[in-house]
Amino acid sequence: MIPPFEFENWAVIALGGVPNTVQVGDMGIDGRIFPVGTRPQDQHSMFAGDWFPVQVKQQDRVGRPDIDSFEVVMEREDRPRGFFVAFSFTSDAVSECAAFHRRTNRLIKLITVQEILDEQHVQKM
Mean pLDDT for each consecutive 10-residue tract of the chain (125 residues)? Answer: 78 93 70 74 56 94 97 94 97 98 97 92 69
Name the strands in the sheet holding 81-86, side by side, starting at the edge strand that comes first in the sequence. Answer: 18-19, 31-33, 52-56, 81-86, 107-112
Q: Report pLDDT for 57.
A: 94
DSSP letter at 124?
G
pTM of the model: 0.85
Q: Report pLDDT for 48.
A: 54
**Strand positions, DSSP E, 30-106:** 31-33, 52-56, 81-86
Task: Give the residues across from 85 on adjacent strands.
Answer: 56, 111
Domain boundaries, the chain: 6-124
Q: How many CB atoms lie within 10 A of CB 103?
A: 9
Q: Report pLDDT for 20.
A: 85
Fold of domain 6-124: 3.40.1340
Residue 121: burial class (beta carbons within 10 Å; 0-12, 13-18, 19+):
buried
DSSP, collapsed to helix, strand or coil, labels residue 82 as: strand
Q: How many CB atoms lie within 10 A of CB 108?
A: 22
Contact 67, 100 (CB under 8 A): yes
Q: Report pLDDT for 47.
A: 47
Q: Report pLDDT for 122.
A: 72
Q: Report pLDDT for 120.
A: 79
- Collect all residues with Cβ–Cβ distance below 8 Å to 59 and sequence separation of at least 6: 86, 87
